[in-house]
Structure 1
Amino acid sequence: MMETALWKRLDVTGHDAARIETVPGGHLLQGTAVFRHEDGPACVSYSLDIAPDWSTRRGLVQGFAGERAFALEIVRDADGWTLDGVAQPGLAHLMDLDLGFTPATNLQQLRRMPLAIGEAADIKVAWFDVGAERLVELPQYYRRLDESRYAYRGFSYAATLEMAPSGFVKLYPELWEME
């Protein structure tokens, strides 16, 4: 299985391209987001190693935002999460990594916990965004409205997400739209 996506950012100038593929031992999600960040132009490549059950094992995030370059490794193992080898306390119970700068990382939560129409789930994820110095716990709420739409809530954002047949978000209102 391989699926690809291209999104246009709606709140600032930007794009993101991603692909998910089945590989021996799980799945690989890769992409690159290019967008206007508060620090200046940003180019961020990401790669997530995802287990067969759709839980995240490892993430790599590298690129730049303005004049600041970065290359980060995020790992989940039996002891919990680390960010560049530094333990991230209180997050060991979280299974998913959500990257705040891309719409691509809602896919694994919904694949791991498929919802029937009318069902809802509270899913807590390890969340990371460009410029952050640590992972934080992000409570997310999903309620499946029909074949392709989910009511979503996370932090102070709430909207109805439209999903593509690939499993990627098609429309993240006011933030991202698939092209």
Structure 2
Amino acid sequence: MSETLATIHWRALDRDGEDKCRLARHEDGYMLVGHARFRDGTGWAALDYVVRCGPDWLTRSADVTGTAGGEEVRARLTRENGAWLLNGTKRPELAACTDIDFAFTPATNLMPLRRLPEVGRLSVCAAWLRLPGPRLDPLNQSYTRERGGLIGYEAAQTGHIAQISVDPQGFPTLYPGLWQRVEL
């Protein structure tokens, strides 16, 4: 049984699309359940995702299903004994990863944002899932609390830098150029 803690709805700023996500307390941790619908360079995508975390907000497993660019997507990521598996196949290059980052949604920023100290910085390595593929690679990220309630974000491999606004639950409300919360 799960208890809903928060819901959020985002509008894409860089393409046609939206994402709706629910955060729930589940068993001995948390679960994100979301539905992303968007059009990108490969065509329309309709993706459903679930991310399961422990009480420490570290990712335990995640699933993505649906279609993207006319292709079926079925990705199951699990963490077993410190090793990540993609659809049952070990991915040793992801051994240092503590988080999942789905490139198509801001929802997966929630886990590191929930672990970010009130003052300071958090550096993480995420298993970065991109489509088509799925392609899965390590992505070194850092989150820093800044003035005005903003979070500084940086991804080492891509050079992406942003100042993210977040709500009290830790969800991004404005990810400049990419996502903005839709008020319901």
Work out whether the TM-score is over 0.5.
yes
SS of 2:62 mapped into structure 1:
strand
1:38 and 2:33 matched: no
Tell me the TM-score normalised to structure 1 length.
0.93
Q: Distance in 2 between matches of 1:147 and 1:115?
A: 16
Out of 16, 19, 24, the position equivalent to 1:21 is 24
Q: Distance in 2 between matches of 1:75 and 1:151?
A: 29
Structure 1 runs of 4+ off > 3 angstroms? Answer: none
8 Å contact from structure 2 (residues 17, 39) kept in 1: yes
Match of 1:103 in 2: 106
Deviation at 1:42, TM superposition (A): 0.5
Per-residue Cα deviation, 1:125-163 (whole angstroms, up to 9, x for no partner): 111122134421101111101463111111221110000
Deviation at 1:176, TM superposition (A): 0.2
Tell me the TM-score normalised to structure 2 length.
0.91
SS of 1:74 mapped into structure 2:
strand
Out of 65, 74, 79, the position equivalent to 1:71 is 74
Q: Distance in 1 between matches of 2:142 and 2:26?
A: 29
**Percent of pairs identical after alignment?**
34
Shift in CA distance, 156/163, structure 1 to aligned 2, threshold 3 Å: same
Out of 56, 60, 64, the position equivalent to 1:57 is 60
Match of 1:153 in 2: 154
In structure 1, runs of 5+ residues without a counterpart are: none
8 Å contact from structure 1 (residues 19, 30) kept in 2: yes
RMSD, matched Cα: 1.4
Equivalent residue pairs, number: 177
Out of 175, 180, 183, the position equivalent to 1:177 is 180
Match of 1:125 in 2: 126
Shift in CA distance, 57/38, structure 1 to aligned 2, threshold 3 Å: same
1:141 and 2:142 matched: yes
Deviation at 1:172, TM superposition (A): 0.4
Q: Distance in 2 between matches of 1:121 and 1:168?
A: 16
Deviation at 1:177, TM superposition (A): 0.4
SS of 1:90 mapped into structure 2:
helix
In structure 2, runs of 5+ residues without a counterpart are: none
